[in-house]
Every structure is written in structure tokens, then in C-alpha cells.
């Protein structure tokens, strides 16, 4: 069983092997009041929960296959049959490094990164599959592109997407106009992740140089380093949208998440150390400023209560053991008592 590494996979070098044909087998699902489980045709990598209120159990999940040809699919739960069905499947060059639905609950858009930023349409009311609507590339002078490691969708201004790249840059795209608003050298080395704060202007990034850097679109000539540990790359950053003083960063190959307070730079306010293996992701609760979920190579999903900060957090409030290392997790914004995870070729929805 293969589990993706805790940092976004880089693109495969040429020569490319021939594409592997994918066949969607019938979804195999186990069901209970607290857990929904279904299988996909391939090892899973990225997972996201749709913001639409139309179907509260609509999710996107991508493959991780060591080939040029990968896929992602959208599934949704059928309340009448109790089963999950396939809404649509799209071929995707290279493994997807991040997959996100638009934060606008009325929008049919899905975004993905890998070699380029791609926008897809998957209609909410009358599903007609997944269709590519745009491929955005800010390097017009070369046929080659630097791998894109991650992106974040601005919730306050859904026309803005921030993209991180191994070429040390962050690019802010206006997807309505199809143009890059700005591209800046954000780090000294590869940038692994980017996250917007609440509001439309402030974002943070992390990378191989071990720093967390904060930027403001209104004053890009300056940035603030709010945390730095040069010998330890940081591979994930997530911003607490309900209390934007707090961020969580995930170091490479580390079994902990670092909680940072932007008002007290340089030193973590606490570290979440309950995992027995490297973390692959973290997500803040969409309805509570004091809760965050983490998941990783130890097959555990832990939910932490941070309401007593700045006191140390010794243990998680809730724990769930999957059967394999967890590659990705997502917390439903419309059904806030549900968390989604993916591992091996499975997706599980957990009632918390």
C-alpha cells in the first residue's frame, strides 16, 4: 500500500509512460449512522468538501498514481438509496497537489493544481459531469512550467486564488479576468503552501526555507516573517478564519502541528504533539475558532480543543483510527459535524 509523502509530489520527469486507462468500478460502501465509507478506483491523494447546500454530501477526491495520467472525481450521496454515486470524472495531468471547490456556494467551479492552475465546472443543480473551463499559466515565454505545490481560494473575494510554486513564487490570480494580479518571490526556496486570512487582502505562505511569511496585497513591498526554523521545511499552512490571530503550520516529516499567534511572532503559542508519525494535513473547524483537526501517517485523525490557550494542549479531545495512513482531510462547512478523510483507495466521512 502506497501513501503519498507529507509534502506535495513534484512532477514526473520525461519520458512519460503511456497513460493507464481508468475504469470506474461500482462504489463499494459501508454505512453507519456515524461513518460513511466508499472506495475509489485508485489510491487517493486530495480531498475537499463542496460548499453548496444543494447536496451536503458532495465531495471531490483525486488520484495519486505514479504516471502522467491521473484523475479526480466528484461523488455525492443519494439520500433515497443511501449510496454514493459518481457525478463526474476528469483526467488530470500529473497527480493533483491541491483540489478545492469554490467557496461561493452558488458556483459550479472546482480548482486544481499540478503543472498549471486549472478551473473546472461541475454544475450543482443538473450535473453534467466535469468540464475544463480554464488553464492558467503566468509564464508565457516558455513551454515548461514550475510545479505548483498548492493553492488557496479567497473566501471573501472568490475571484482570487493564490498559488504556491517550487520556483519560490506565489501568484495571485483573478480568475474572472484570467490574469495574474501579482506574482512575487515569496521565499528563498520552494514554496509549499499558501493560505488566505479572513478578508480579501492578507495571506501567508510556507516553504523549504522553514519560514512562515505574511503578506498584504495592499502593500506587497513588505512582508513579515512570523516564524522561522531554517533547518526544518514547512509543508502546510492553514489560517483560522474565525480567529485570524491564529495559524497552524505543519513541518516536514514531523509528528506535530505548530500553532502560531500573529500577535506574538517567532515563538509558537503551542505544539500539538499527539501523533505517532508525520502529519499530512490540518484543518480548522469552520464553525468553531477553538477546534482544529490533524491527520497523518499514524492513521490517526485527532481533533483538538484550543479554548484554553495559551495553556499547553496535552492531548486531543477526540481521536479516530483509520486502517491506513491518512492522506488528506476536510471539514464540511455546511454540515459542521462531519469530517472527511481519504486513505488508500477509500474515502470516509466521520460524524464528530
Task: Give the whole-angstrom CA distance, residue 178 versus residue 49.
Answer: 25
Confidence check: pLDDT of 10 > 50:
no
User: Which one is predicted more confidently, 78 or 239?
Assistant: 239
Task: Give the whole-angstrom CA distance, residue 302 versus residue 255.
Answer: 12
Residue 102's pLDDT is 96
Interacting residues of 16 by C-beta distance below 8 A, sequence separation 6+: 67, 68
Task: Give the whole-angstrom CA distance, residue 100 versus residue 151.
Answer: 9
* Nearest in space to 167 (alpha carbons), one of 140, 182, 148, 151: 148
Residue 29's pLDDT is 40
Task: Give the whole-angstrom CA distance, residue 88 versus residue 157.
Answer: 27
Lowest mean pLDDT among 31-45, 246-260, 312-326: 31-45
Task: Give the whole-angstrom CA distance, residue 206 versus residue 20.
Answer: 34
Task: Give the whole-angstrom CA distance, residue 38 versus residue 141.
Answer: 44
State how far the alpha carbon of 263 is from the alpha carbons of 244, 266, 352, in Å: 10, 10, 31
Residue 125's pLDDT is 67
Task: Give the whole-angstrom CA distance, residue 86 versus residue 96.
Answer: 19
Residue 144's pLDDT is 75
Residue 80's pLDDT is 76
The arithmetic mean of pLDDT across residues 182-208, rounded, is 96
Task: Give the whole-angstrom CA distance, residue 10 versus residue 313.
Answer: 34
Single pTM value for the model: 0.88
How does residue 28 score in pLDDT terms, banded at 50, 70 and 90?
very low
Q: What's the full length of the chain, in residues? A: 352
- All cell numbers assigned to 150: 498548492
Task: Provide, rounded to the nearest whole percent, the portion of the chain with pLDDT above 70.
Answer: 89
- What's the mean per-residue pLDDT of the chain? 88
Residue 115's pLDDT is 94
The arithmetic mean of pLDDT across residues 41-48, rounded, is 97
Q: How many Cβ atoms from other residues are within 10 Å of residue 160's Cβ?
A: 21
- Domains of the chain plus CATH, in order, are 240-352 (2.130.10.10)
Task: Provide, rounded to the nearest whole percent, the portion of the chain with pLDDT above 90.
Answer: 76
Confidence check: pLDDT of 152 > 70:
yes
The arithmetic mean of pLDDT across residues 318-341, rounded, is 96
Task: Give the whole-angstrom CA distance, residue 69 versus residue 171.
Answer: 25
Task: Give the whole-angstrom CA distance, residue 229 versus residue 211.
Answer: 6
Task: Give the whole-angstrom CA distance, residue 302 versus residue 316.
Answer: 6
Each residue of 210-247: pLDDT tens digit? 999 999 999 998 899 999 998 899 999 999 999 999 99
Amino acid at each position: 500500500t502506497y501513501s503519498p509523502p507529507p509534502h506535495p509530489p513534484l512532477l514526473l520527469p520525461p519520458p512519460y509512460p503511456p497513460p493507464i486507462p481508468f475504469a470506474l468500478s461500482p462504489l463499494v460502501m459501508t454505512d453507519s449512522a456515524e461513518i460513511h465509507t466508499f472506495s475509489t478506483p485508485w489510491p487517493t491523494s486530495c480531498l475537499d468538501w463542496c460548499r453548496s447546500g444543494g447536496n451536503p454530501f458532495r465531495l471531490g477526491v483525486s488520484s495519486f498514481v505514479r504516471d502522467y495520467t491521473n484523475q479526480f472525481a466528484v461523488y455525492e450521496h443519494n439520500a433515497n438509496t443511501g449510496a454514493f454515486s459518481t457525478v463526474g470524472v476528469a483526467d488530470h495531468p500529473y497527480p493533483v497537489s491541491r483540489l478545492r471547490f469554490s467557496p461561493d456556494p452558488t458556483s459550479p467551479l472546482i480548482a486544481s493544481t499540478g503543472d498549471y492552475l486549472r478551473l473546472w465546472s461541475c454544475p450543482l443543480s443538473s450535473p453534467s459531469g466535469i468540464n475544463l473551463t480554464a488553464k492558467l499559466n503566468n509564464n508565457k515565454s516558455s513551454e515548461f512550467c514550475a510545479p505548483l505545490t498548492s493553492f488557496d481560494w479567497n473566501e471573501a473575494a472568490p475571484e482570487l486564488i493564490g498559488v504556491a510554486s517550487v520556483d519560490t513564487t506565489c501568484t495571485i490570480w483573478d480568475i474572472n479576468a484570467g490574469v495574474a494580479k501579482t506574482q512575487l518571490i515569496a521565499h528563498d526556496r520552494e514554496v509549499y503552501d499558501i493560505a488566505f486570512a479572513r478578508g480579501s487582502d492578507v495571506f501567508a505562505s510556507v516553504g523549504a526555507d522553514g519560514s512562515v511569511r505574511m503578506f498584504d496585497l495592499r502593500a506587497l513591498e513588505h512582508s513579515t516573517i512570523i516564524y522561522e526554523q531554517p533547518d526544518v521545511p514547512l509543508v502546510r499552512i492553514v489560517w483560522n478564519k474565525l480567529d485570524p490571530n491564529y495559524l497552524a503550520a505543519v513541518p516536514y516529516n514531523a509528528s506535530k502541528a505548530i500553532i502560531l499567534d500573529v500577535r506574538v511572532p517567532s515563538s509558537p503559542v503551542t505544539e500539538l504533539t499527539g501523533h505517532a508519525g508525520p502529519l499530512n494535513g490540518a484543518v480548522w473547524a469552520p464553525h468553531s475558532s477553538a477546534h482544529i483537526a490533524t491527520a497523518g501517517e499514524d492513521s490517526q485523525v485527532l481533533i483538538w480543543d484550543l479554548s484554553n490557550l495559551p495553556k499547553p494542549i496535552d492531548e486531543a479531545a477526540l481521536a479516530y483510527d483509520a486502517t491506513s495512513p491518512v492522506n488528506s482531510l476536510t471539514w464540511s462547512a455546511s454540515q459542521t459535524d462531519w469530517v472527511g478523510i481519504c486513505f488508500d483507495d477509500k474515502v470516509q466521512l466521520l460524524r464528530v
